[in-house]
């Protein structure tokens, strides 16, 4: 599958646990005057892309497209990691377990629909 690598799988496998465990309990706490969630979103996005850059220069992670490659890492930060972390933190901070389950179930349902379309119908995967 294009775009699916061990690095990506492992990164996102452990990232959710790392992110959830590192969040301060007080979601309104500020770090140097900035809401802690945004500081962590930016910091972890930079860290994860730094890891990808290292893997890329070692030759174990290949970026195919010129716009998703070194030195255009800002795009990877803004489109690749930040939305994932924003969504993860939003779910984490929801007060109701029921809401969390509904939203995450919706994501799984969307994934299934997209797999049927792209794998089953269009044969792109």
Dump pLDDT digits (tens) for 76-110. Answer: 999 989 998 999 999 999 999 999 999 999 999 99
Cα dihedral 56/60/66/70 (nearest 10): 0
Q: Decide: 85 and 44 in contact? Cβ < 8 Å.
A: yes
For residue 46, the tally of other CB atoms under 10 A from its CB is: 14
Query: What pLDDT, on the 0 to 100 scale, is given for residue 64?
Result: 82
| pLDDT above 90 coverage of the chain, percent | 61
Query: What pLDDT, on the 0 to 100 scale, is given for residue 3?
Result: 58
d(CA 88, CA 20): 8
């Amino acid at each position: 599958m294009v775009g699916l690598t061990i690095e990506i799988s492992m990164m996102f496998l452990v990232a959710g646990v790392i992110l959830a465990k590192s969040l301060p309990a007080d979601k309104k706490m500020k770090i140097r005057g900035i809401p802690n969630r945004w500081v962590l979103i930016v910091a972890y996005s930079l860290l994860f892309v730094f890891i990808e850059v290292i893997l890329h220069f070692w030759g174990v992670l290949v970026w195919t497209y010129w716009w998703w490659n070194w030195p255009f890492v800002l795009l990877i930060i803004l489109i690749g990691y930040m939305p994932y972390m924003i969504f993860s933190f939003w779910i984490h901070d929801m007060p109701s377990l029921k809401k969390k389950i509904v939203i995450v179930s919706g994501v799984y349902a969307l994934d299934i629909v997209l797999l049927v379309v792209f794998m089953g119908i269009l044969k792109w995967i």
